[in-house]
Amino acid sequence: METTLYDKNGRPVAYISSENDNAIYIWDGHAVCYIEEDKIYGWKGKHIGWFVDNIIYDTQGYRVGFTLETCPSMPYVEPVKYVKYVQYVKYVKYVSSVRPIFSLGFSDLGLKEFLEQDKV
């Protein structure tokens, strides 16, 4: 199953693939990070945020991304997905950050920039 991720303006930016260890892919077919429990890790092992109640939060607790159910704006139509590239081997994970109090505010990072910050 695949779950589309939207930015705060309702633009589809990426999707979660539950068949591929909850990897998050951008539309060009590259896996850029993955979800383990409620934490999001970049492919190089850096903890970059949380996925809680269908909302992506950065390490400061600000909202970055949303599923269809939680998107604060009218969502745009999804583009056609490219074929998925083979995933790189995941690096050893760093220790995760302390979970902050989540905010209703938005992160300064765009969703794509956030997801790609620790890609291979």
Does pTM top 0.85 for this prediction? yes
Model confidence pLDDT, tens digit, residues 25-60 = 999 899 999 999 999 999 999 999 999 999 999 999
- On average, the pLDDT of the chain sits at 93
Model confidence pLDDT, tens digit, residues 55-75 = 999 999 999 999 999 999 999
Q: Is-contact 48 89, C-beta < 8 A? A: no
Q: pLDDT value at position 90?
A: 78
What gap in Å lies between CA 65 and CA 40, rounded to an integer? 12
Of 19 and 54, the structure prediction assigns the larger pLDDT to 54
Q: Is-contact 35 16, C-beta < 8 A? A: yes
Q: pLDDT value at position 88?
A: 73
Please check the confidence at residue 86 and state whether its pLDDT lies above 80: no
Closest CA to 105 of 54, 57, 51: 57
Question: SS3 of 20, please?
Answer: helix
